[in-house]
Structure 1
Amino acid sequence: MIALPEPAWFVGCGNMAGAMVDGWRKAGADLSGVTVIRPSGTPVEGVRTVTAYPAGDKPVFVMLGFKPQKLDEVVPSLAPLVGSNCIVVSLLAGVSAETLRARFPSARFVVRAMPNLAVSERLGVTGLHAVEDDLEARELVEGLMSALGLAPWFETEAELGALGAVAAAGPAYVARFAAAMAAGGEALGLPADLSRQIADKTLVGTAALAAKGESMESIARRVASPRGTTEQGLRVLDASDGLQPLVDRMLEAAVRRGRELAEEAARHG
């Protein structure tokens, strides 16, 4: 059974942290030693939820799942409770490991984790980055994240930022493409609801083919017969001003914003 270290505190539990809780629950993880701390007190299914830090034992595992802009609001009361045996896992986009280490100087181990929403189905990607060499802590964090899908380590913040642009934000971009397909089908005369269902089912079916190990290039090649309708559509996407330049601009915008968030967090230190 997967077990988080006890006591474990999840400070904030937004969409991404909540998706991780869902994934761990589906993996059969023991969450009895986990406490979610969130000012709203909104309950998290199957997990003890409180509005203030618990009195008594200090945590040995802390996951930061609030908005990055709240970091300096949270640190003054949380940092004194993070001792030398505590692993800190940050989900805060753009907040560097160096900034986190400065905020939690007593922590045993500080790691950045960048998951995507598919962790809720244990089909996610969670990028990991840390500067410390605590092998035991690394193995513990990797084991927890691997229960939610792929969990690669990255040597640099830049690599983690690239992962975030592609994987962490990826579900939103793929969803937008499917929505555009649905809108296009509606424009061609399909009923709106049916067009959405067709686009969604096409996305799920393509993902199922990829899950069996078939490459996206192979899938496209199999669908596009020579001089057929699909090939004509692909020519538009493959043009020099087509899909790839658009995707490159999209990813660069996400990476740029990550750098801005990191600079903002460092300045407020």
Structure 2
Amino acid sequence: MTAIWFVGCGNMAGAMVEGWRKSGFDFSNAVAIRPSGTPVEGVRTVAALPEGPAPRLVVLGFKPQKLNEVAPELRARLGPETIVISLLAGAEAKSLRGRFPEVRAIIRAMPNLPVSERMGVTALYSEDANEDLRTEVGDWIGLLGLAHWCETQAEFGAIGSVAGSGPAFVARFIAALAKAGEGLGLEGDFSLDLTLRTVAGTAAMAQSRCEDMASIARRVASPRGTTEAGLSVLDGEDALQGLLARTLEASQRRGRELAEAARAIDSPPSVA
């Protein structure tokens, strides 16, 4: 791919760039546009949209609330062969197409932060990308981990709640387990290290063995043993499952609110 613009390059877009750099991707024909001018490592960084030909690929990595502010000037700089990849939470395909009607394709992408380590998950959705383009973009995003094309925006939103928001939820679980270890007398940093290794090791084991979580739990928990006693707390009255269901429900609800907010302003001023 050539002539890539990263319009905004905050936490998520920055994590993607980091992962692509680790993959050896060539950024010599890419530019990051950040009004602050804060450099993006490995990518030429400018404070305003560059002059010259329309880019082939634009990655929208700014805050969703700035869409109407950014779109008019950006729209004037894009061409009929430009592909727009949006990382904007809540901005649906129709909303984006209304703001960039002339471009070749609109693709929504919802990555998670582990893309920086090339171990991420990225949901993809488009209503107008053909199979060749889906393969090309999927292969590029696939350098960062799993790239999954969604059939519907509902599926896209569900993946966003589980995988997109998931690292934050997992981080909270890790912190809570480590803190509980401190309560048993372990030194703080050591308890955190133990927890990180336990979580990473369990995930690696599950993936390598293709083993389901119930089976792993059964193998660890001997009858009437210490693990079974702990599991009775997590499983009792559906405590853990109920908590996570409410957590994901809150995440999805907020996603719907963001989408509704974007639809409410779906008549952006036209560009002459």
- Note closer, same or farther for the CA distance 1:47–1:133 as it changes in structure 2 (3 Å cut): closer
- Find the partner of 2:31 among 8, 19, 35: 35
Partner of 1:13: 9
Deviation sequence 1:110-159 (CA, Å, 0-9, x none): 00000011111111110010111422221211111111111111111111
TM-score, scaled relative to structure 1: 0.95
Deviation sequence 1:185-236 (CA, Å, 0-9, x none): 1122222222222212212222221231333223222211111110111111
Runs of 4+ in 1 over 4 A off after TM superposition: none
Paired residue secondary structure (2:45):
strand
Asked whether the equivalents of residues 6 and 34 of structure 1 are also in contact (C-alpha less than 8 Å), the reply is: yes
**What does residue range 14-93 of structure 1 map to in structure 2 within 5 Å?**
14-93=10-89
Q: Which amino acid aligns with 2:232?
A: R
Rounded to whole Å, the distance in 1 between the matches of 2:141 and 2:237 is 39
Asked whether the equivalents of residues 87 and 137 of structure 1 are also in contact (C-alpha less than 8 Å), the reply is: no
- Find the partner of 2:124 among 128, 133, 137: 128
- Find the partner of 2:255 among 247, 255, 258: 258
**What does residue range 162-177 of structure 1 map to in structure 2 within 5 Å?**
162-177=158-173
Unaligned runs of 5+ residues in structure 2 are: 267-272
Q: What is the number of residues matched between the two proteins?
A: 265
Rounded to whole Å, the distance in 2 between the matches of 1:142 and 1:236 is 42
Q: Which moves more between the two structures, 212-221 or 41-50?
A: 212-221
Rounded to whole Å, the distance in 2 between the matches of 1:96 and 1:180 is 35
- Find the partner of 1:235 among 222, 232, 235: 232
- Find the partner of 1:215 among 199, 202, 212: 212
Partner of 2:189: 193
Asked whether the equivalents of residues 63 and 89 of structure 1 are also in contact (C-alpha less than 8 Å), the reply is: yes
Asked whether the equivalents of residues 122 and 148 of structure 1 are also in contact (C-alpha less than 8 Å), the reply is: yes
Asked whether the equivalents of residues 123 and 147 of structure 2 are also in contact (C-alpha less than 8 Å), the reply is: yes
Rounded to whole Å, the distance in 2 between the matches of 1:41 and 1:219 is 49
Rounded to whole Å, the distance in 1 between the matches of 2:215 and 2:32 is 44
Rounded to whole Å, the distance in 2 between the matches of 1:37 and 1:133 is 25
Partner of 1:148: 144
| Alpha-carbon RMSD | 1.1
Q: Which moves more between the two structures, 8-17 or 210-219?
A: 210-219
Unaligned runs of 5+ residues in structure 1 are: none
Rounded to whole Å, the distance in 2 between the matches of 1:52 and 1:177 is 40
Q: CA deviation at 1:267?
A: 1.0
Aligned-pair identity in percent equals 59
Q: Which amino acid aligns with 1:71?
A: L
Asked whether the equivalents of residues 35 and 48 of structure 2 are also in contact (C-alpha less than 8 Å), the reply is: yes
Asked whether the equivalents of residues 125 and 150 of structure 1 are also in contact (C-alpha less than 8 Å), the reply is: yes
Paired residue secondary structure (1:151):
strand
Paired residue secondary structure (2:27):
coil
Paired residue secondary structure (1:264):
helix
Deviation sequence 1:56-96 (CA, Å, 0-9, x none): 11111000011111111111110111211000000001110
